Chain A
């Protein structure tokens, strides 16, 4: 493990390729986002104890680990909600330091929250443009927003019949699709998804997974947190395993399987 971390550090400095990732076709590229030695404490609790992580354009990274392993804290640091106590973050090779979620969003880092963060009393188009309303003079430009919303959903092959309907009337899968479409449609560089499939029916899970693949195909770096390990093998290129605030392993999808992942997550460090 420590070997790999050292190599990561070297890889950034010299542009050398980490052997662990040879299979994922990221050779020589600058990572979209690179985290080095990220630490975060909440009082006496060490939530993150020095995490290194690279994510490349057009790649989906699965982030797994038990509850309280630090997955959420790490994604909240990437999305600007938390400020790390220590460590550095590089976006496309440039050092960055976010002042808050709005700052991260300005730099095209989007997050799909587990609770979806939709406003039930606002219509579908309004939710897609929430916080980015198109205006004509002092007024909302409803017509443009409706037609743009239709285009956004069509591009991701999401079918919602009535865009003027309130979000509360939609099914769980449709709500999830809207939350993803909102994050994916404004040219994100990094898209973080927290448990996007946990509350969905089977058909809806399939739809969301293929949606993630389509988003990934547009060159977006996707970070996927999920407890549904079988989903990882459908969409991810790499999987990072968190344990007690550290990254204990990183596997390319070709060199791991379900059993291996479960062992890594529960802490039987069976380095292959």
Chain B
């Protein structure tokens, strides 16, 4: 009586390839970029330059990991750049006011969580689209940062412990990079192996199903904005510590870099599908392209054009070639 129509089973290897196609393609893309710049420039592969790349990529990677969570739920957070700027500015102001730096760090992380909670409440419990809520956040938070600083850059002086967060090294690796790696590992473990991670994926995959099986669906959605807020605060602190100042003009366009990195890593804007490994590779690809083009003495304005074009091409490859009609030879099938 068990007359199920079963699909023929291909080799597990093919299944693996099609499931991992997104990550594999960005990994391939990343390697191509690395090889290209290694060949065309002398300095790219030097240890100093490599450390510089990961130091600069650290804030993007931290927020991109959180953004992966947000996008997996089917949402988006456009306000991360403004959150970074606001935390950056407020951290500088409070440090200048003489608060001990560990207190400032903890307070800023809580502040980021609070901002995220506010936005998450509007998105999850009030049903306003994430795009709208965080677009408003983008404007308001940057505005608050500008108002607090009156547009000036606020110097941070005499807190070596704080500066170590942005400038220090441990075992020859920059501290921001170490923090970013820790965040990425934490994000990977949480999304793949915890109940909370499973809830985030379920909510993004099928919100109604998650609600029906008794998951705290609304809270899962709200919580990812809290995660993004904390990550933005951390990034803001690292940037302040590296530059030794707080400015309302920090991290302009940061949200676009972060979203580009996440999308480049194969995370679907429709929700449900996404990997931290892809996000890491996406972040590194963008960082390497920016760094490599500068080393090639190409106009920095050109970097933006190239980055944008590469994102478009990579996504195009991902959606048209590496998914439904995935073939090794490109010979069979009527690809559109």
> Which A residues contact B (CB, under 8 angstroms)?
101-102, 105, 111, 113, 115, 117-122, 126, 130-133, 135, 138-140, 142, 157-159, 161-162, 165-166, 169-171, 173-174, 177, 201, 203-204, 206-207, 210
Contact = CB atoms under 8 A, between A and B. Distances in A.
Given A121-B272, A165-B15, A206-B1, A130 B6 contact: no
Nearest to A131: B213
28 contacts: A111-B212, A113-B212, A118-B209, A119-B206, A119-B210, A122-B201, A122-B205, A130-B209, A130-B213, A130-B215, A133-B198, A138-B194, A140-B194, A157-B2, A159-B2, A161-B6, A162-B15, A166-B19, A170-B7, A171-B6, A173-B4, A173-B5, A174-B4, A174-B6, A203-B3, A203-B5, A206-B1, A207-B1
Nearest to B209: A117
Interface in B186-206: 189, 193-195, 198, 201-202, 204-206
Contacts of B5: 171, 173, 201, 203-204
A130 B212 CA distance: 10
Interface string B1-30: 111111101001001000100000000000
Contacts of A126: 198
Contacts of A142: 193
B273 interface: yes
B208 interface: yes
Interface in B137-194: 189, 193-194
A105 B213 CA distance: 8
Interface string B198-230: 100110111011111111000000000000000
Contacts of B12: 162
A254 B211 CA distance: 39
B68 to A, nearest CB: 14
Given A119-B201, A165-B15, A207 B214 contact: no
B269 to A, nearest CB: 14
Contacts of A210: 1
A170 to B, nearest CB: 8
A119 B1 CA distance: 28
A66 to B, nearest CB: 25
Given A119-B201, A121-B273, A162-B9, A207 B195 contact: no
Nearest to B214: A102
A185 B128 CA distance: 37
Given A140-B195, A201-B5, 14 more contacts: A119-B205, A119-B210, A119-B272, A121-B201, A121-B204, A121-B205, A122-B205, A157-B2, A159-B2, A162-B12, A165-B15, A171-B5, A174-B4, A203-B5
B214 A203 contact: no
**Interface hub of A120, A121, A157, A171 (most chain B Cβ within 10 A):** A121
Contact of A118 (B1, B206, B215, B273): B206
Contact of B3 (A102, A111, A135, A206): A206
